[in-house]
Structure 1
Amino acid sequence: MQRAGNGISPCFRKTTLKNGVRVLSERIPSVRSVSVGAWVAAGSRDERAEERGISHFIEHMVFKGTRKRRMHHIARRMESVGGYLNAFTAKEYTCYYARALDEHLARAIDTVCDLILFPTLPEKEIEKEKGVILEEMKMYEDNPEELVFDRFESVVYDGHALGAPVIGYPQTVQSFDREMLCDYMRSHYVPDRVVLVVAGNADHDDIVRMAGDMLGGMPIAERPIRRAPVNGYVPHDFVESRPIQQAHFVMGARGLSVRNEDRVAFSVLNTLLGGGMSSRLNQNVREKYGFCYNIGSFANMHSDSGDFGVYAASDVRKMERVKKLIRKELRYFVEVPIGSRTLNEAKNQLRGAMMLGLEGMSNRMMGIGRQELYFGRYLTLDEISDAIGKVTVEDVQRVASMLFKGDQLSTAALVPEG
């Protein structure tokens, strides 16, 4: 085993097993719980066109049984000791996680590792789960507030896997069989893509020993899978009529990757634009004119690309006026340097949200997992806070000038029928 230096944090340690699996922990002796996550660097962007939705489908299927446990045993495994077990799939990774009292650390590690190592993927359950996923798709189709973001991503990443919904499409999901699932897992669930993270009251050496017993035998991939780079961006608009009462729309464009040196300034800018009740969008669109109930901005950052935008819901007769106001706010950040007091308030808001979010062990575990997958190292709170503190008025205006170009904006809209 290769052990990382310990100069980063007295509470954080990292060990790499001989086969490439990374084991990370942050010990918090003051709590009586642990949060365990088995991360796999495989998500919907890693799928071929005919595989759309397979990462998410596998995330569901591993709970249907493993070599060691039947489906109902898995369901009771953590709940029977007061814990919790779940998973989620994103664009670039999948995470299987458990929460429990610290005395059940071994059970939590064994459970999440068992899911990614030894799922049986029974054919009968595959066919049943197709029906479940199709119903999940219908649920999203009935929720325009979520659906419009899928439509926006299909516009911004047109023709690329990042533009496809994580859940996939009915025709691809219905085509899945056990051989497809096994092939995908053999290619993507490999040691150098697996990260085990534990946050809470747990000893790192104990974690490494348990991880070695479970994950140390994972075979190394013969042919590493490389992700397709993002394609070019051509701004365009999308409008779809649906049986709804309000118009839901997203206006935005390609943004910055999570590794871009301007990512922190971008986050501060996003906070100023639409990050809460005091943001310019909320104050100057909702409060000043009363044109909408929901309005806010977002910034999605992936390993080599990203996107940003503004979401709003309004009466369709007011939609064009809301769009005009949004463009006005975007131009404001390009043309007008923000005041130092306003900047400091936004930085404090961003710092506070980060600190408050890390009070729970699950959020700590999630943060460590994402940092390892994207940066290959642990970013301390002081390091992140210092980076936020260094953002200047000039940084914010420069990033706004780079991204908030009117002719580069795309819009995805769901509007009422008729």
Structure 2
Amino acid sequence: MVTPGAGASDPAPGARSTVTRADLPGGIRLLTETLPGVHSVAFGIWIAIGSRDERPDQVGAAHFLEHLLFKGTGRRTAAAIAEEIDAVGGELNAFTAKEHTCYYAYVLDADLPLAVDVLADVVTDARLALTDVELERGVVLEEIAMRDDDPEGLVGELFDEALFAGHPLGRPVIGSEESIRAMNRDTLYEFWRGEYTAPRMVVTAAGNLVHERVEELAGAALAAAAARFDPGSVPVPPRTGATRPPAVTGPRLVLRSNDTEQAHLMLGVPAFDRHDPRRHALLVLNAALGGGLSSRLFQQVREQRGLAYSVYSAATTYADAGSLAVYAGCVPERLSEVVAVIRGVLDAVAADGLTEAELTRAKGSLRGGLVLGCEDTASRMNRLGRSELDHGRQRSISESLDRIAAVTGDEVSRVARELLSVPLTGAVVGPYDGLDELPAVLRELA
């Protein structure tokens, strides 16, 4: 079934864009966006499986597998995979998130058949040789070590661990050194064959393409995967809130001792899931709090007091949970003052909301960021995949812009009061041997 223009995205300047959908055998979904005027195509195979879907004995399997599938297939060695894409100047890569995994290629439009064939081969016919498992285990362990040397990224993972305590959303996507060392080939193979199913697959492509040609190429390349299922299999629907994380009831402060020059801090609260109609007001609130150079946190912490070089806020939404968090990095002796200023900003916004000028700037920032973020084929391909997996439909850029424009100051004020009036959860990475060495303003969270 082919549906032209269903939920089509808006065209880039000077171009006419068309989003078309088709249902392939086995429950595989295909979405393409034609962008005349470019000479490239971004092609992706998405799997509705991420780190939150792992069993306790599989922690880190989704990310480990993403690495491993590129190590060779029945038709190609790892070197051949790299050489074929390099020979056409293309890009081949993948990423794992908490709720999905994506394998993608970015090539000239004439090389789309090669990209489809290589990616489908990688996703559906990998060898998973024992020697490759051992080789890639070392690579993943190096990646974990690199993560541990990045205190800004590490403090974000610690914050999730504290906020979503006991829930899979609180686990790092990359896994732990212990879980990766314990991972065996059988566990990875079971995860691959059990979770990489046709009804969970979404294929997306954006660029200078003809939909019917992409449908032909993808259908043929993924025929083996589709054959394992009834041709009429129903695609897996978007996630719901059936497994919502429990409320934070234990200690709300975690510390990772690290011999760093700075103290890295993250403070935040639970927020809305991506299906909540208040999420657009949350995005506006986040933009005004710490989304740019004119945001209240940036101005108060950096510009007016010079307490930190980096300070920002972030709103994250999942199918059944979310968070609103503030990050700051500062020298340890200034941590107490930084915490006090951040809490003061959050309390003030909770009590009084945003000014009219802040509301206008935040909405304008979101609108500009949304449009500018969709100026290339890779971004368009990503938008297609995320919209299908997260919402089961395509949202046009105009629809998203209209929803942002419709957010009122009263809505933002209500969201701020609801979210910022609950106790904060905090995470710190820095040169502290124990919680007792942290400022008193933080220790009260423990």
Match of 1:220 among 218, 229, 233: 229
SS in structure 1 at match of 2:415: helix
* Contact 1:244/1:417, CA 8 A, preserved across alignment: no
Measured in 2, the distance between the counterparts of 1:399 and 1:378 equals 26
Q: List aligned pairs for 1:37-48, cutoff 5 A.
A: 37-48=44-55
* Contact 2:3/2:22, CA 8 A, preserved across alignment: yes
Measured in 2, the distance between the counterparts of 1:7 and 1:354 equals 20
Query: Paired residue for 1:307?
Result: 323
Measured in 2, the distance between the counterparts of 1:178 and 1:220 equals 25
- 1:8 and 2:7 correspond: yes
- 1:69 and 2:85 correspond: no
Query: Paired residue for 1:231?
Result: 245
How many residue pairs get aligned? The number is: 416
Query: Paired residue for 2:351?
Result: 335
SS in structure 2 at match of 1:295: strand
* Contact 2:264/2:429, CA 8 A, preserved across alignment: yes
Q: List aligned pairs for 1:370-389, cutoff 5 A.
A: 370-389=386-405
Query: Paired residue for 1:410?
Result: 425
- What displacement does 1:339 show? 2.9
Measured in 2, the distance between the counterparts of 1:8 and 1:354 equals 17
Measured in 1, the distance between the counterparts of 2:6 and 2:387 equals 17
* Contact 1:327/1:406, CA 8 A, preserved across alignment: no
Q: List aligned pairs for 1:141-290, cutoff 5 A.
A: 141-218=148-225, 219-220=228-229, 229-234=243-248, 236-290=252-306
Query: Paired residue for 2:95?
Result: 88
Query: Paired residue for 1:394?
Result: 410
Query: Paired residue for 1:21?
Result: 28
Query: Paired residue for 1:138?
Result: 145
SS in structure 2 at match of 1:15: strand
Residue 337 to residue 155, structure 1, CA distance change in 2 (3 Å): closer
Superimposed CA distance per residue, residues 198-232 of structure 1 (whole angstroms, 9 cap, x where no aligned partner): 0000011111111111223422399x899971331
SS in structure 1 at match of 2:159: helix
Measured in 2, the distance between the counterparts of 1:285 and 1:171 equals 38
* Contact 2:269/2:422, CA 8 A, preserved across alignment: no
Query: Paired residue for 1:348?
Result: 364
SS in structure 1 at match of 2:304: helix
Superimposed CA distance per residue, residues 91-136 of structure 1 (whole angstroms, 9 cap, x where no aligned partner): 0011000001100111111111111100001100101111111111
SS in structure 1 at match of 2:173: coil
Residue 158 to residue 337, structure 1, CA distance change in 2 (3 Å): closer
Measured in 1, the distance between the counterparts of 2:3 and 2:270 equals 36
Measured in 2, the distance between the counterparts of 1:249 and 1:162 equals 20
Measured in 2, the distance between the counterparts of 1:417 and 1:402 equals 33
232-241 or 383-392: which moved more?
Answer: 232-241
Measured in 1, the distance between the counterparts of 2:303 and 2:409 equals 26
Measured in 1, the distance between the counterparts of 2:25 and 2:77 equals 31
Query: Paired residue for 1:357?
Result: 373
* Contact 2:288/2:361, CA 8 A, preserved across alignment: no
Residue 350 to residue 187, structure 1, CA distance change in 2 (3 Å): same
Measured in 1, the distance between the counterparts of 2:3 and 2:414 equals 37
Measured in 2, the distance between the counterparts of 1:414 and 1:179 equals 36
Amino acid corresponding to residue 428 of structure 2 in structure 1: A
- What displacement does 1:23 show? 0.3
- 1:30 and 2:37 correspond: yes
Superimposed CA distance per residue, residues 142-186 of structure 1 (whole angstroms, 9 cap, x where no aligned partner): 111111111111101111111111110122212222221111112
Measured in 1, the distance between the counterparts of 2:6 and 2:200 equals 25
Amino acid corresponding to residue 390 of structure 1 in structure 2: A
- What displacement does 1:252 show? 0.5
Measured in 1, the distance between the counterparts of 2:176 and 2:213 equals 42
SS in structure 2 at match of 1:378: coil
Measured in 1, the distance between the counterparts of 2:323 and 2:229 equals 34
Measured in 1, the distance between the counterparts of 2:229 and 2:390 equals 21
Identical columns (%): 38
- What displacement does 1:291 show? 1.0
Please provide the CA RMSD for this pair.
1.9
Measured in 1, the distance between the counterparts of 2:66 and 2:145 equals 19
SS in structure 1 at match of 2:103: strand
In the superposition, the TM-score normalised over structure 2's length comes to 0.90
Query: Paired residue for 1:294?
Result: 310
Measured in 2, the distance between the counterparts of 1:304 and 1:80 equals 43
Measured in 1, the distance between the counterparts of 2:374 and 2:336 equals 39
Measured in 2, the distance between the counterparts of 1:7 and 1:353 equals 24
Measured in 2, the distance between the counterparts of 1:352 and 1:332 equals 27
